[in-house]
């Protein structure tokens, strides 16, 4: 629109092109100059090297100034809300962690312990917060929408596993929905033992994030050797 007005109503258009180093046969030059002018208005920079030379151009400038002001104000307001939300969450998390850190310092715990505890608490805080938000959303939904929601959140993980992905039954979709709703998240610290040979086989563990090391017994002649296998996101154990 800016370029259309400039080329249609500016009597000194050729001089304008020459002054601003624009090739009249280059569409790229025209687009760059037009976008440059609009951006100086929308971002409220206003260098002043481009302006309205007649009533029509000035009227157009007035319109885009108000439109640009509205867009700029909306963006700033949105960013401010995001920043306030993040600050509130960070304040709550920092307060929670700081209470534990102060207690550790009273007990003269070494710095490395304080560091690891703080990192774990921050991670657990974020995890618990996300789980709480998920639960609050699911609680207000009717049963059918609950199933649809959890299937969206967890269904892909189940479908990718060979245990459930190859099911051929009229009710397999319904079963996956029920399983998705029954899934619960657990978090573990690095190097923490999740299960051993004596652990009851009462659940299937699917990795949502991170990786898990599994020690597998392997026959080598007359000897049994332990082999380490790494499982990653989407893989599972306990079947």
Model pLDDT for residues 100-123, shown as the tens digit of each residue: 999 999 989 899 999 989 988 988
pLDDT band at 48 (very low <50, low <70, confident <90, very high): low
User: What is the signed CA dihedral for 167, 170, 174, 177, rounded to 10 degrees?
Assistant: 30
Q: What is the pLDDT of residue 175?
A: 79
Which neighbouring-strand residues pair with 236? 206
CA gap 7, 49 in Å, rounded: 17
pLDDT for residue 139 is more than 80: yes
Query: CB atoms < 10 A from the CB of 136, how many?
Result: 9
Q: In this predicted structure, what is the pLDDT of residue 46?
A: 67
Residue 49 has, within 13 A of its CA and on its CB side, a CA count of 12
Mean pLDDT of the 32-56 span: 69
User: Beta-carbon neighbour count of residue 8 at 10 Å?
Assistant: 9
Least confident of 70-74, 95-99, 104-108, 205-209: 70-74
Q: Is the dihedral of CA 132, 133, 134, 136 positive or negative?
A: positive
pLDDT surpasses 80 at 16 = no
- The average pLDDT across 163-184 equals 77
User: CA–CA separation, 51 vs 61, rounded Å?
Assistant: 8
Residue pair 235/158 in contact (Cβ under 8 Å)? The answer is no
Confidence at residue 103, expressed as pLDDT on a 0 to 100 scale:
92
């Amino acid at each position: 629109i800016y370029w259309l007005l400039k080329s249609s109503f500016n009597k000194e258009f050729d001089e304008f092109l020459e002054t601003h180093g624009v090739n009249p046969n280059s569409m790229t030059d025209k687009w760059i100059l037009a976008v440059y002018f609009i951006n100086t208005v929308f971002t409220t920079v206003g260098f002043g090297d481009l302006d309205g030379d007649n009533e029509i151009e000035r009227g157009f400038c007035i319109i885009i100034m108000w439109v640009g002001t509205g867009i700029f104000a909306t963006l700033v307001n949105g960013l401010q809300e995001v920043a306030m939300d993040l600050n509130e969450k960070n304040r709550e998390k920092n307060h929670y962690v700081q209470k534990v850190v102060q207690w550790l310092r009273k007990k003269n715990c070494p710095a490395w312990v304080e560091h690891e505890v703080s990192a774990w608490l921050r991670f657990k805080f974020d995890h618990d917060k996300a789980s709480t938000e998920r639960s609050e959303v699911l609680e207000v939904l009717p049963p059918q929408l609950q199933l649809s929601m959890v299937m969206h959140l967890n269904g892909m993980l189940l479908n990718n596993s060979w245990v459930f992905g190859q099911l051929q039954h009229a009710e397999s979709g319904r079963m996956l929905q029920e399983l998705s709703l029954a899934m619960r998240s657990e978090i573990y610290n690095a190097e923490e033992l999740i299960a051993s040979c004596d652990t009851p086989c009462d659940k299937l563990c699917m990795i949502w994030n991170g990786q898990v090391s599994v020690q597998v017994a392997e026959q080598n002649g007359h000897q049994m050797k332990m082999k380490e296998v790494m499982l990653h996101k989407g893989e599972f154990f306990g079947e």
